[in-house]
Structure 1
Amino acid sequence: MQILIRVLITAVALWVATALVGGITVTDETAVKRWLTLLAVAVIFGLVNAFIKPVIKVLGCAFYVLTLGLIALVVNAALLMLTSWLAGKLDLPFHVEWFWPAFWGAIIVGVVCWLLGVLIPDGESDD
């Protein structure tokens, strides 16, 4: 159930990014197809973050230290662009134009995911 909630949160965050950032698009005709595409892209984005991001953090830990963590913004943008590329390979109509839309989109996705994660209870109790 937790995984499904995380995917839904990420899909909503991606939808917010497509609404606010020019250069991030989902080109489906109907709202249902658009949301199904966003759900599929959320799964891809989650897999990319689960498998590739830790490797990048380990290999580039010196850059994280030298830039006081600001390189994470660039890494997140690159991972969003990779997600767009993978979605294209799977014939999903999700596209990120270039680096700057990916940069701002990654920030929006991160903030919205964090905010929704705080607002939506995870089912774990503290007692």
Structure 2
Amino acid sequence: MRLLAEWIIKAFILLITTRLVPGFTIDSWLTALVVALVLGILNTVLKPILVLLTLPATILTLGLFMFVINAVLLILTSKFVTGFQIESFGTAIIASIVISLLSLLVNMVFKSEEKNS
């Protein structure tokens, strides 16, 4: 049940990002769910490999290179999912930052609720 909730929340975060970042478009709610699923799979399979390969750059930039890795994964996802477009690499970087911030905010809210209950 928790996995389903996280998947829906990620899709919602992606839809919010379409409102905040020009050039980052998702055609429908269903497409957002597919994007969240594909992105989750790519994050599970490819991200650890990319992080390992780019570790020196990540260390030199104090972790900021992770936004580049996330942007690459977003662009790769857009190649697999019709109805999901990213205008440019710069747009993908900005979207990566926005998605990370929104995810952080959601995690903070849920962790706060868990402590209070």
Letter in 2 for 1:107: I
Runs in 1 of length 4+ with deviation above 3 angstroms?
A: none
* Cα RMSD for the two superposed structures: 1.9
Return the offset for 1:115: 1.2
Does the 8 A contact of 1:16 with 1:108 survive in 2?
no
For 1:14 and 1:3, how far apart are their aligned partners in 2?
Answer: 17
Question: Does 1:47 find its partner at 2:47?
Answer: no
CA distance in 2, matches of 1:56, 1:124: 33
Identity %: 36
Match in the other structure for 2:13: 13
Question: For the residues of structure 2 that align with 1:39 and 1:118, how far apart are their CA atoms?
Answer: 22
Equivalent residue for 1:31?
none
- Report deviation, 1:70: 1.5
- Aligned match for 1:93, one of 80, 83, 98: 83
TM-score by length of 1: 0.81
Once the 2 structures are TM-superposed, how far is the Cα of residue 76 of structure 1 from its aligned partner? 1.1
Residue 72 of structure 2 corresponds to residue 78 of structure 1: yes
Structure (1 or 2) with the greater helix fraction: 2
CA deviation map 1:9-31 (0-9, x unaligned): 2111101110111111123xxxx
Judge conservation of contact 1:25–1:96 (CA < 8 Å) in 2: yes
Q: Distance in 1 between matches of 2:42 and 2:2?
A: 18
Distance 2:109 2:65 in 1: 28
Aligned length: 115
| Cα drift, residue 62 of structure 1 | 1.4
Structure 1 gaps of 5+ residues are: 28-33
Where does residue 24 of structure 2 map in the other structure? 24
Once residues 96 and 71 of structure 1 are traced to their aligned partners in structure 2, the CA distance between those partners, rounded to angstroms, is 19
Q: Could you tell me how far apart the structure 2 residues matched to 1:93 and 1:72 are?
A: 25
Hey, what's the Cα distance between the residues in 2 that align with 1:54 and 1:101?
Answer: 23
